[in-house]
Structure 1
Amino acid sequence: MRIDLNADLGEGMGDDGAVLDVVSSANIACGGHAGDAASMRVACEQAVARGVRIGAHVSYPDRAGFGRVPMDLPAGVLLASLEAQLDQLTTAALAAGGRVTFVKPHGALYHRAATDPEVAEIVVTMARPAGLAVVGLPGSAILDRAVAAGLLAVPEAFADRGYLPNGALVPRGQPGAVLDDPDLVTQRMVSLVRDGEVAAADGSRVTVAAHSICVHSDTPGAVAIARSVRTGLERAGVQIAALT
């Protein structure tokens, strides 16, 4: 068994270096919701030093709302913003001796692209010229579009987020949305990799077919959670390895 372990980084919170010691892929904020040229440079240098893959964590241009506020932007405006974000991270990655290998939308853009084919197509259009892999929810519109475009589509699960019975995430702000008990999170992820299922918020079992697992760097105790998940998976015979 093998799975990728990714984390959202470069957002100005948590201990990015400690998280990078654990994960195999880093989703680095590119200036849309967080991050700037300096933070991108540092994150890329740290990732390259550890052999961690670099991904563009693009978002709506919404620093005030941390990219978690839905925005209805004209297609051309959104595409231009995403391309600018990717260009900034590409520059930082190349300067650090690495390269961007995948894209994972952030926050409101992530969820919109999961259900809106037009927004999904915009993200894929941005990723296509560089042949970037695309990370998203299993069964989502963005992964369908990525496959149609000949790109690697990577379905992911969230270690530190609760699930609804239909496979969607429990909305932030609701009870059970964020999970911060390392032992509980680890048990859930071992179950996911072994059985393809996790417990939903109502106690039912929900199928989550994932090739990558995400740990958010802004979750309380993120470093401990990431370490626990990796250790638990490896003890269960699972190899942690990047997919790109």
Structure 2
Amino acid sequence: MVPPSSNSSADSGRSFFENPRTAPSLPIAANPVPISSRSTPEGYLLPILPPADDPLVITQDARGHCQLPRVSDTPLPVDDARVLKLVEHHPMIIPKCSNCAEMGVACSFSKAGIPCPPCSVLGIPDCDWADPFWFMENLQRRRDLFLFDECDALVKAVNDNRLSPALFEREFKRAQAWFYSGAQGAISRFMLNTWATRDIAVCGYQALAASSSDPSHLLRFLALGVETHIHPLILQVVAERLQVFFQSVSS
């Protein structure tokens, strides 16, 4: 079992869930972590990380729409401190979303499911921070770090205290279930964030364009929008408003 790479102490999985903890039920969509063929001298087997049958995987429905997984029947509330730590975690290896990196502008991350400020203002619909695949990869990374830390601590506890090998597997399953309950809360929070922020820019610019009675203002906006990388969806909204003006004049 090789630990995931980490360049920051903030990446430690243990920082997300402090002991002592309760013991929620095992996640419904996550089978117990498979046990590897590599045994320890103490007689118990180490789990495979990351798990071969990973429950943190996005699927598609019959219409081709992305479906986030359900990994626990006992999710933590969306405002739980541990859920917030998961949705607010931003890996330092990705300082900017791909759009901001391409435009060469500053980028900031707030929470998973919420586009960065430049993408929001420019009406760009595909900010990485609101991308479900990026979010799921981030959750997988958090899971692997957390379970690796738990495994390391359990090995030490069992060995140092000469405990029964059965204790290792039992406590590791508890740690697994504990993480997935937090992950399910984070998935729900991600969905709420995306629903709350979806199409805000398009609706806002549409309202502003509809309230404008001066075609020259809209023409200047179109010219400026092309220069400042405003998304074509926004420019189309303004262009449609201009078309209404021109049709009314010609009639």
Structure-2-length-normalised TM-score: 0.22
Higher helix share: 2
Structure-1-length-normalised TM-score: 0.23
| Higher-Rg member (1/2) | 2
Higher strand share: 1
